[in-house]
Amino acid sequence: MKTRREFLRSTVLGASASWTVPMFVERTFADLHMGARDLATQPVTGKDGTILVVLQLAGGNDGLNTVVPFADDAYHKARPRLAKREKEIITLNDYVGLNSSMPYLGSLFKEGNLGVVQGVGYPNPNRSHFVSTSIWETADIENRSNTGWIGRYFDNACSGADPTVGISLNKTQPESFGALKNPGVCLSSPELYRWIHGGGEKAQAEEFFASLNSPEDDDLPAEGASIDMPAGGKVGGIQGESNLAFLERVAMDARVSSAKILELAAKHKTKVNYEGTPIARSLNMVSRLIAGGMPTRVYYVSHGGFDTHNQQVNSHDRLLGQLDRALKSFFADLKAQGNAERVVLMTFSEFGRRVGENASAGTDHGRASCLFLAGEGVKGGLYGKYPSLTDLDQGDLKHTVDFRGVYASVIQGWLKTNAKPILKGDYPTMPIIG
């Protein structure tokens, strides 16, 4: 993978004989050779580093009907219409089982590659989708942080990395990528993640466009960019960086990553079948980028629709089925590539649902829920205590595991770096990785 500077040097310099590269870009190359002194240091990625895929279940996944406490009378009592009977589940032990829409995860559990964390939440939970999502993404239960937990990982552990150290397959940047130095990149669709010229002398115009969007000099500080203070705003930014310099940096990141991502997306063809659902397409894209050897440490994908206030059974089972089939294709694909052991996938959702079903056979916003960790690097099994279904707080489960402890386990166990500066505190980890 090329750094910004290498990219400029090789790609644009090679083409600079063409008149379309204006003088101001050409002059920059002389500086670039001088600038090789601060060639970015690449974090451990490339062909052998570990990769984390974060999968958001947006809308508040009903943990109770995902990891089902089928043996609990209180469950059946609270949900006369929604409760799963024992024959409708994949038994994990004598108390809980998986929703039967997830046969693949069931088999993964038996193989020891699925970790199920029960009762995950945080103190004084917030039932707003937005606030609670923000809390999960910033790992700040006060919801005051300008940066996200993944962004802080980039800042702390991936100094000098390529912009594609993090890729979010979203229209907008997830808050968890918020960083002071390197917020990763986002794209919603590789085909559209490029400058669309639209007819005419395409190559010429695109080359010209490229030169317009190459900053004259990317003025990152030479020595690994030590930045102490955020410039403000949820995206962070480099202290003292002007708006124009910021825009040029993002433009350059977009160009560098767009070229690379398009190239890889076009090149690698998967042999595994994926469904046409958005989540399957996203995971297909992730797998293609992994196969292509992107230096990306963290991918972020979303699976929406979990806000099941109404007639939950059909929609929730359908969503879990889509998730299961997408994961099945994804891990089969990784296996075929020989990358299966490099990837751990973690799900999260902003909150669970209320224990009792509501009048429209749905569930309202609740609190604690479950999350999954999947992959060969995971030590499978059940983690955390299933919250009591009778000792409730205003109709909601009380959390037994702080989500920041799960993050800490992933950061230390899988990304192999100290979690404390990233999470701004110590949280008890669990032996779920390694």
Partner 1 sequence: MLPAAPDEWTIFEAAHLLRRAGFGGSPDEIKVFHALGRKKAVDALLAPDEALDAFPLPEWASREVAAEEMRERAMEVREMRQRTRDMTPEQADRTRRQFNQQRQRESRQRSAEAQGWWFERMLKTKAPLREKMVLFWHDHFATSFQKVRLPVLLIQQNELFRRYATGSFKDLTHEIVKDAAMMLYLDTQSSKKGKPNENFAREVMELFTLGEGNYTEQDIKEAARAFTGYQINRGNGAVTHNRRQADNGEKTIFSRKGKYDGDGVVDLIFEQSAASRLIPTKLWEYFVAENPPKEGIDALAKSFKDADFKIEPLLREIFLSKSFYAEKVMRDQIKSPIQYLVQMFKELELREAPEAYVLSAQQQLGQVLFMPPNVAGWDWGKAWINTNTLLSRYNVAGFITKGSQENEPVRNDGDGDGMMMEMEERKPARLGNAMKRAERNWAGPDYEKVAPRALREDPEKLIDSLLFRFFQSPLGPKEREAFVEYARSKKGAVFTNKETGELCHLILSTPQYQLA
Out of 45, 113, 138, 173, which residue is the one contacting partner 1 (CB under 8 A)?
A: 173
Out of 3, 4, 20, 363, which residue is the one contacting partner 1 (CB under 8 A)?
A: 20
Q: Is 130 in the site for partner 1 (CB under 8 A)?
A: yes
Q: Is 32 in the site for partner 1 (CB under 8 A)?
A: no
* Shortest distance (Å) from residue 18 CB to partner 1: 11
The three-state DSSP-derived secondary structure of the chain is CCCHHHHHHHHHHHCCCCCCCCHHHHHHHHHHHHHHHHCCCCCCCCCCCCEEEEEEEECCCCHHHCEECCCCHHHHHHCCCCCCCHHHEEECCCCCEEECCCHHHHHHHHHCCEEEEEEEECCCCCCCHHHHHHHHHHCCCCCCCCCCHHHHHHHHHCCCCCHHHEEECCCCCCHHHCCCCCCCEECCCCCCCCCCCCCCCHHHHHHHHHHHCCCCCCCCCCCCCCCCCCCCCCCCCCCCCCHHHHHHHHHHHHHHHHHHHHHHHHHCCCCCCCCCCHHHHHHHHHHHHHHCCCCCCEEEEEEECCCCCCCHHHHHHHHHHHHHHHHHHHHHHHHHHCCHHHEEEEEECCCCECCCCCCCCCCCECCCEEEEEECCCECCEEECCCCCCCCCECCECCCCEEHHHHHHHHHHHCCCCCCHHHHCCCCCCCCCEC
Binding residues with partner 1: total (CB under 8 A): 70
Q: Is 303 in the site for partner 1 (CB under 8 A)?
A: yes
* Shortest distance (Å) from residue 32 CB to partner 1: 16
Q: Is 211 in the site for partner 1 (CB under 8 A)?
A: yes
Q: Is 208 in the site for partner 1 (CB under 8 A)?
A: yes
Which parts of 59-118 interact with partner 1 (CB under 8 A)?
A: none
Q: Which stretch binds partner 1 (CB under 8 A): 37-45, 170-178, 342-350, 388-396?
A: 170-178
Q: Which stretch binds partner 1 (CB under 8 A): 22-30, 99-107, 110-118, 403-411?
A: 22-30
Q: Is 408 in the site for partner 1 (CB under 8 A)?
A: no
Q: Is 323 in the site for partner 1 (CB under 8 A)?
A: no
Binding footprint of partner 1 on the chain (CB under 8 A): 19-20, 22-24, 58, 128, 130-131, 163, 169-173, 183, 185-200, 205, 208-209, 211-213, 215, 231-235, 237, 242-244, 246-248, 250-251, 253-254, 257-258, 278-279, 281-282, 285, 302-305, 310-311, 360-361
